[in-house]
Amino acid sequence: MKKKILCMILSVMVVTSMAAGCAKKEAENTAATETTAGESGEVAGGEEEEGSESMTVRMGISQVSGQVLQAIAEDKGFLEEAGVNVELVTCDTAQDAFTSLAAGKIDIVSTYGTNRPIQYIGEGEDLTIFAGYMLTGAMPIVANPGTEWNGVEDLIGKTIAGNTTYYAVCGPLLDLGYDPNEEIKWVDLDQHVDRLEAVRSGEADYAIVGTGQAETIADMGLEVVCYLSDVLPDYSCCRVVCNTEWLDSNPDAAKALLKSWMRALQVYESDKDYAISLTAEQLEVSEDHVSAYMTEPHYVINLDPDYKAVERAWGYMGELGLLGKDASNVDIKDHFNAEIYKAALDECVEEYYDEDPDFYDYYQKFYEENNPL
């Protein structure tokens, strides 16, 4: 069975510096508390107090992308059933999220790419990837109307609004014998709208942008020539990442969280209208806006940690010179844990298999094929 499942977006821009956290705020929801990571303030959560009835996980999220599986797991009561409470800590930028993670103010991140944690690991940070979130994002390569597209090699010799951290593009070019650092001119612009404007104005031939830009692309009279997952299938867009010490100390909390999310994923796949409505409410946007990317087949959610994809990304980024100077001494396997996800999947199969046998058969097979550890 081939499943095309969808999720929230994030760009895969490089982390070039560590920024201060954002100001602290608090708001309460029914099953999860949302706060904001602070520069000097503390965020409650983490280790459990004696007598606590549920485990707590503090998760950094983006105000732009949210976290659809978390929203479903909360709304359906899956978190409560698993005995885990999730505190959502809103971070203004990816730099804020990883700064808060390093400071122990949050426990995990799930929607901040694969390249970012890989870079931090390459620079010596003791992080562990223990699950997936977005397997591929509906991230397009955009050009002016009428631009011919024969394949990724068309980018050679051109000017692209983006950067080399897009290993889903640069990796296949490496495989074809090209050097993306030398044979492409990169215009590194942070904002996706600025990248699109660079194409419209003629400053760039192509732009690589994140999911959710369809309306802007159309309004600016531009066209999508392909998606990153057309260039590199199952490239691994976002991974669930934590400090290794936290995972070693809280394996039950991590498993309970993944078990809840796996059940949410089954709901997500079987009732997309519900997921769209819930996400629109979570992000305070229109359902049409959410539907535009949630119904895009290039947009795939998958909780499997997918060692094959992570190892491939690690190799590409090393070849592109994007890892730390001592990265050759780092074994990415030492920063990867598939056992907790597998334990959560096995428990779901034991308890909920009859609800959707095809769903659980698919993910059992996917795990066996993509985690040769």
* pLDDT, tens only, 78-110: 999 999 999 999 888 888 999 999 999 999 999
Residue 52 lies in a domain: yes
Do 207 and 102 share a structural domain?
no
Do 127 and 145 share a structural domain?
no
Which residue range is the domain that position 204 belongs to?
Answer: 140-231
Q: How many residues does the chain have?
A: 373
Do 311 and 173 share a structural domain?
no
253-287, pLDDT tens digit by residue?
999 999 999 999 999 999 999 999 998 888 888 89
Confidence of residue 211 (pLDDT cuts 50, 70, 90): confident
Confidence of residue 342 (pLDDT cuts 50, 70, 90): very high
218 has a pLDDT exceeding 60? yes
CATH number, domain of 161, equals 3.40.190.10
Domain finish residue from 178, 198, 231: 231
154-201, pLDDT tens digit by residue?
999 999 999 999 999 999 999 999 999 999 999 999 899 999 999 999
Q: How many CA atoms lie within 13 A of 38 on its CB side?
A: 11
Do 97 and 35 share a structural domain?
yes
9 has a pLDDT exceeding 80? no
- 298 and 168 Cβ atoms separated by less than 8 Å: no
Query: What's the confidence (pLDDT) of residue 65?
Result: 67
Q: How far is CA 209 from the centre of its chain?
A: 15
Do 144 and 128 share a structural domain?
no
Residue 20 lies in a domain: no
In terms of DSSP bridges, do strands 159-161 and 206-208 run parallel, antiparallel, or are they unpaired? parallel
- 53 and 204 Cβ atoms separated by less than 8 Å: no
Do 182 and 98 share a structural domain?
no
Closest by CA to 145, choosing from 93, 62, 220, is 220
Residue 8 lies in a domain: no
Do 169 and 47 share a structural domain?
no
Do 289 and 202 share a structural domain?
no
Do 327 and 307 share a structural domain?
yes
Do 219 and 100 share a structural domain?
no
Do 332 and 203 share a structural domain?
no
7 has a pLDDT exceeding 70? no
Domain finish residue from 174, 209, 231: 231
Q: Between 144 and 4, where is the model more confident?
A: 144
Do 219 and 249 share a structural domain?
no
69 has a pLDDT exceeding 50? yes
Query: What's the confidence (pLDDT) of residue 271?
Result: 97
Give the C-alpha separation, 52 to 58, whole Å: 16
Lowest mean pLDDT of 17-26, 162-171, 191-200, 212-221, name the range.
Answer: 17-26
Residue 299 lies in a domain: yes
Domain finish residue from 208, 231, 254: 231
Query: What's the confidence (pLDDT) of residue 283?
Result: 80
23 has a pLDDT exceeding 60? no
